[in-house]
């Protein structure tokens, strides 16, 4: 089943795409269209409905937030049909061009990415449409290429997967909590009110929602760091903080999504930081 729901916010057209081989979609993906600029291209499993939805629409530019399969799935289709300029981080570009295999749960929900001969440009200083100017801001942590787009005059933040929720309880493998904290701090230096999230848009109080998320992340990070400094390992830290693994999710995703990944990302960063500190210490001796 492929589904789409279209709504508006001011001049921004919002598309919510769902896809599932059987029954109702488990998770939906949001794409945004603004004066010929398309932000992200949805999952390949929704291609039929994506094609139909954008029939007759003008698309001159495409900007990609990051390489995950639910955000770039139809880039090849848009490139071939509309010949837009496609902007992305070099890492996203590589993934789009070379394609990649996905895990069975990702295949089921979103679909794999096939290699495609697509020309991708690096982000300009500003992405410009007729009436709007969007500033690309590199915000790694959820993925190394993650980039958000800010329309400062309107107070709009096209945030990819940087927001999603104020309380994230588990991580995908490779996510970095410390980097996400730095990235949230980076966007909080700007003013905005609307979060055009890749999954759950928020039409007001965007900045305070990000502040909430930052507080939650910093508390979580601080607790894990201090327990780790006391010599506790992953299991002991999870037990002390009463963090329970969500086993069905861990199993269903072949270990790709888990509570432990979130805790571990703090441990890995702390190990890296202390190694770097030691190196500096040795150098200054």
Q: Which residues bind Zn ion (CB under 5 A)?
A: 68, 161
CB of 109 to Zn ion, least distance (A): 12
Measured at the CA of 147, the angle between CA 206 and CA 182, to 5 degrees, comes to: 70
- Looking at the Cβ atoms of 162 and 263, the one nearer to Zn ion is 162
- Looking at the Cβ atoms of 76 and 161, the one nearer to Zn ion is 161
CB of 185 to Zn ion, least distance (A): 20
Residue 30 pairs in a beta bridge with 16
CB of 24 to Zn ion, least distance (A): 21
- Looking at the Cβ atoms of 103 and 241, the one nearer to Zn ion is 103
Closest residue by Cα to residue 177 from 261, 266, 260: 266
CB of 173 to Zn ion, least distance (A): 12
Task: Using the CB atoms, write b or e for 129-144: b if 16+ within 10 Å.
Answer: eeebebebbebbbbbe
Burial class (CB in 10 A: 0-12, 13-18, 19+), 241: middle
CB of 42 to Zn ion, least distance (A): 13
- Looking at the Cβ atoms of 73 and 206, the one nearer to Zn ion is 73
Instruction: List CB contacts of 22: < 8 A, sequence separation 6 or more.
Output: 1
CA–CA gap between residue 190 and residue 201 (Å, rounded): 18
- Looking at the Cβ atoms of 140 and 206, the one nearer to Zn ion is 140
| Residue linked to tokens 């937030």 | 65
Q: What is the Cβ-side half-sphere exposure of residue 269, based on CA atoms within 13 angstroms?
A: 20
Task: Tell me the residue nearest to Zn ion as measured from the CB.
Answer: 68
Q: Is 282 helix (H, G, I), strand (E, B) or coil?
A: helix
CB of 72 to Zn ion, least distance (A): 10
- Looking at the Cβ atoms of 40 and 151, the one nearer to Zn ion is 40
- Looking at the Cβ atoms of 138 and 244, the one nearer to Zn ion is 138
User: What does the DSSP assignment read for 6-30?
Assistant: EEEETTEEEEEEEE-SSSS-SSEEE
CA–CA gap between residue 188 and residue 94 (Å, rounded): 29
CB of 66 to Zn ion, least distance (A): 6
Tokens of 167: 């309380």
């Amino acid at each position: 089943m492929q589904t789409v729901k279209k709504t508006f916010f001011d001049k921004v057209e919002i598309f919510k795409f769902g896809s599932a081989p059987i029954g109702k979609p488990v998770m939906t993906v949001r794409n945004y269209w603004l004066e010929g600029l398309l932000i992200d291209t949805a999952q390949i499993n929704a291609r039929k409905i994506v094609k139909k939805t954008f029939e007759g629409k003008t698309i001159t530019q495409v900007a990609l937030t990051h390489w995950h399969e639910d955000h770039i799935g139809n880039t090849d289709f848009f490139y071939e049909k509309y010949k837009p300029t496609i902007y992305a981080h070099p890492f996203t570009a590589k993934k789009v061009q070379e394609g990649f295999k996905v895990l069975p749960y990702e295949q089921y929900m979103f679909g794999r990415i096939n290699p495609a001969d697509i020309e991708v440009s690096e982000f300009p200083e500003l992405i410009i449409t007729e009436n709007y100017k969007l500033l690309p801001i590199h915000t790694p942590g959820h993925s190394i290429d993650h980039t958000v787009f800010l329309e400062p005059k309107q107070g709009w933040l096209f945030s990819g997967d940087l927001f999603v929720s104020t309380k994230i309880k588990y991580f995908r493998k490779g996510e970095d909590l410390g980097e996400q904290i730095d990235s949230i701090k980076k966007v909080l230096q700007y003013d905005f009110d609307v979060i055009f999230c890749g999954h759950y848009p928020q039409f007001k109080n965007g900045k305070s929602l990000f502040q909430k998320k930052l507080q939650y992340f910093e508390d979580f990070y601080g607790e894990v760091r201090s327990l780790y400094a006391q010599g506790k390992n992953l299991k002991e830290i999870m037990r002390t903080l009463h963090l329970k693994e969500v086993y069905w999710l861990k199993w269903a995703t072949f270990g790709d999504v888990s509570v432990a990944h979130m805790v571990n990302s703090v441990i890995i960063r702390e190990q890296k930081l202390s190694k770097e500190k030691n190196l500096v210490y040795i150098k200054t001796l």
